[in-house]
């Protein structure tokens, strides 16, 4: 899959994309990531990519001309790619959205900056706006990193094991179950017996119940829309009884 990132600060990506899973995915040629400095498409000698807003006000706005030229150039190289804008106006990034984009041939991610982009760019080129949440970042570069990471890990072969992605939090609408590793006892806390039993069905049921428990405590809003089975509802009833002392 191809990722093209349009930014005023391409140097911000050199560390995150040169380590861990993303680096391995690039080395295996499962993904291709290209950086495009928007200033390279500016026409003046100062490579101006922003200007003051019409109507006055604080801050600067990313100019239409260099950004449009950059998008058109990249789109010509990858016409089937989807143009995204990192923006507080956008849909909040979720696992389902990442899975949706993992099926696309490519993404062109425009990193917003300053007060935003000239609105005509959104009207003419942007196919989707994506936000990480209701908070403010200095720019869209961090959001672009999150988009690439969340999408890339869902591409077959990137994680090396399909089970890893399938059991991640949110993959089935719930938070993931707790994890333990050696030693079996640490500071007086022992690993749950089910995980030491070697009994696959017992382990499966323990993990599912603890996934439901964690979701109920930390993100009860997810339970309302999660695809729950009859077994899940029985487990939730057990969890409720345990929380009330068996009453």
Q: What is the pLDDT of residues 133-162, one digit of tens each?
A: 999 899 999 999 999 999 999 999 999 764
- Regarding whether 200 and 144 lie in a shared domain, the answer is no
Among 125, 160, 195, give the residue marking a domain's end. 160
pLDDT of residue 163: 47
The verdict on residue 39 lying in a domain is yes
Domain coverage including residue 24: 2-160
- Regarding whether 60 and 20 lie in a shared domain, the answer is yes
The verdict on residue 12 lying in a domain is yes
> What is the end-to-end Cα distance of the chain in Å, rounded?
53
pLDDT of residue 247: 62
Confidence of residue 18 (pLDDT cuts 50, 70, 90): very high
What residues contact 163, with CB distance under 8 A and at least 6 apart?
A: none
pLDDT of residue 217: 94
Confidence of residue 71 (pLDDT cuts 50, 70, 90): very high
Q: Number of folded domains in the chain?
A: 2
Q: Six-digit token pair at 26? A: 């690039």
Half-sphere exposure (Cβ direction) of 43: Cα atoms closer than 13 Å: 7
Specify the CATH number for the domain of residue 225: 1.10.1270.20
The verdict on residue 214 lying in a domain is yes
The verdict on residue 169 lying in a domain is no
Q: Which residues are catalytic?
A: 88, 115, 153, 168
**Arithmetic mean of pLDDT, 112-124:** 94
Among 143, 160, 177, give the residue marking a domain's end. 160
pLDDT of residue 167: 57
- Regarding whether 71 and 33 lie in a shared domain, the answer is yes
Tens of pLDDT, residue by residue over 154-198, are: 999 999 764 466 656 666 889 999 999 999 999 999 999 999 999
- 3-state helix, strand, coil split of the chain in percent (to 5) is 45, 20, 40
pLDDT of residue 169: 64
pLDDT of residue 168: 64
The verdict on residue 227 lying in a domain is yes
- Regarding whether 203 and 128 lie in a shared domain, the answer is no
Tens of pLDDT, residue by residue over 215-233, are: 999 999 999 899 999 999 9
The verdict on residue 108 lying in a domain is yes
pLDDT of residue 29: 97
Specify the CATH number for the domain of residue 111: 3.40.1280.10
Q: Of all residues in the chain, what percent carry a pLDDT higher than 90?
A: 89
> What does the DSSP assignment read for 48-109?
--EEPPTT--SS-EE-HHHHHHHHHHHHHH-TTSEEEEEEEEEEEP-HHHHHHHHTSSEEEE
What is the three-class DSSP state of 122?
Answer: helix
**With the CA atoms of 62, 68, 73 and 79 taken in that order, what torsion angle do they form, in degrees rounded to the nearest 10?**
120
């Amino acid at each position: 899959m191809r990722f093209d990132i349009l930014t005023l600060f391409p140097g911000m990506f050199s560390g995150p994309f040169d380590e861990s899973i993303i680096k391995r995915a690039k080395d295996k040629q499962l993904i291709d990531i290209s950086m495009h400095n928007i200033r390279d498409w500016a026409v003046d000698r100062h490579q101006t990519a922003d200007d003051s807003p019409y109507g006055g006000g604080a801050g600067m706005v990313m100019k239409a001309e260099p950004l449009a030229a950059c998008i058109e150039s990249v789109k010509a190289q990858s016409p089937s790619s989807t143009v995204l804008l990192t923006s507080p106006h956008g849909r909040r990034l979720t696992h389902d959205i990442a899975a949706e984009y993992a099926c696309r041939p490519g993404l062109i991610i425009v990193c917003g900056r300053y007060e935003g982009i000239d609105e005509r760019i959104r009207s003419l080129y942007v196919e989707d706006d994506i936000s990480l949440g209701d908070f403010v970042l200095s720019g869209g570069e961090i959001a672009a990193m999150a988009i690439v990471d969340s999408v890339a890990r869902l591409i077959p072969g990137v994680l090396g094991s399909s089970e890893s992605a399938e059991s991640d939090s949110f993959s089935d609408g719930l938070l993931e179950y707790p994890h333990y590793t050696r030693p079996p006892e640490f500071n007086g806390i022992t690993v749950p017996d089910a995980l030491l039993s070697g009994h696959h069905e017992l382990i499966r049921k323990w993990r599912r119940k603890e996934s439901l428990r964690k979701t109920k405590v930390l993100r009860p809003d997810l339970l309302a829309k999660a695809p729950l089975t009859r077994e899940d509802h029985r487990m939730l009833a057990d969890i409720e009884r345990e929380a009330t002392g068996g009453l």
